[in-house]
A = this chain, B = another copy of it.
């Protein structure tokens, strides 16, 4: 168990972490709670997303000198830089403060780097001597499996692994609860006068169910509104049906997602980054490359309800060098973007129709710096559902898995507690106590303060 070092050392802290310096009562964190600092890492097919939880309640807790030093070192490195190694980037604008995880209050920082630099990242962590420091890493995404061995062998770093879809949903619900302005939708998405409208999840607007509520002059239901669909667009696409807090299932997916778009833009246009591909696509005109219903029919295809400007065949207009003369690479990038967005929209809508669901939340890093795709999706949902379904978007786009896997901290805490309790109580008691502790999870709709071991309840100097 760590012991308190009192206020003296805390006041000498120049890192700005301590908020209330002279509060006399301090708690020593339970030894069941994994040591700080806490990291969540989502190692995806293309991008790795890393979140770092910076505690801001240091004046309330007694920490060991070890913990203090490593927190300070890592904190300084991460928060004084915006770029790490050659390719790591911190999304400063996404920083989320005042959040509470596993009974601690703090700030979540958001960092990303390409997964193919994972080994460089491991090297960086080793060089900077962070390996021993970051003793608690929660991990998800395919790479959590793939790189677990390297992390353990090279860094002695153990991944607390969390299932990918579970992390995604936990992360979305946690962030949406902690950031009132997280969620938005588009009004008139394809017009010049389009508007981004903040949608407060808890006020449950934007569904036909809600309109019915309004008509009947009933107040709309409060809190997260189930069921909803999450369409997560990373390298590939996963569609998850969320029926309630703990009831969700991956019901569909597609290999035509961000990886497809970036790959095509590399092969067709030579783009070596996602940003470059998006920039090119923004300047192009897919209609020069795609075959439209109007190109085939000369007009609308009324019997099937297809207007003339709907794409009949993506990339279906040009098959020879003569016709290719007028096509710029911008047009090809645009066609790649529109193909991707439309196909995803169609899959999401089919699933929403199948399950009779009105809320479709789009997430994932394909939507980063990519308002065109978001607006295409918004338009597609609105148009094909005749206004009954609405596309919703989230500001923290691709970071939900990394945030959500921090939920694993609670499991780890519970497991440690069970192990400890099992020495002093009967197994059934231990199990029951662990079950109660589960309330502190980041799953909860409320920011419930975790029940901790007795030792935590003891005030200290």
Contact = CB atoms under 8 A, between A and B. Distances in A.
Top 9 closest pairs, chain A to chain B, by CB: A259-B316, A259-B313, A263-B315, A142-B296, A146-B298, A142-B297, A235-B313, A255-B314, A236-B312
Contacts of A262: 316, 319
B163 A303 contact: yes
Contact of A316 (B46, B312, B354): B46
A303 B164 contact: yes
A349 to B, nearest CB: 10
A370 interface: no
A203 interface: no
B266 A267 contact: no
Contact of A263 (B141, B253, B303, B313): B313
Interface string A321-363: 1001000000010000001001100110011011000000000
Interface stretch (A220-228, A287-295, A401-409, A430-438): A287-295
A143 interface: yes
A329 B254 CA distance: 24
Interface of A: 44-46, 141-143, 145-147, 163-165, 235-236, 238, 250, 252-260, 262-264, 266-268, 272-273, 289-291, 293, 295-299, 301, 303-304, 306, 311-321, 324, 332, 339, 342-343, 346-347, 350-351, 353-354
B250 A304 contact: yes
B263 A318 contact: yes
Identical chains in the assembly? 2
A297 B235 contact: no
29 contacts: A44-B296, A45-B295, A141-B296, A142-B298, A142-B301, A146-B296, A164-B304, A165-B303, A235-B312, A236-B312, A236-B313, A252-B346, A253-B304, A255-B314, A259-B315, A260-B339, A263-B289, A263-B313, A263-B314, A266-B320, A267-B324, A267-B332, A268-B268, A272-B319, A272-B321, A273-B319, A343-B343, A350-B351, A350-B354
Given A146-B298, A312-B236, A343 B256 contact: yes
Contacts of A354: 350, 353-354
A165 B257 CA distance: 30
Contacts of A301: 142, 164
A268 B266 contact: no
A296 B266 contact: no
Nearest to A322: B272
Contacts of A250: 303-304
B255 A311 contact: yes
Contact of A297 (B145, B295, B313, B332): B145
Contact of A268 (B267, B312, B342, B347): B267
Contact of A313 (B146, B260, B267, B304): B260
Nearest to A268: B267
A62 B262 CA distance: 66
Contact of A256 (B238, B297, B314, B353): B314
A289 B266 CA distance: 12
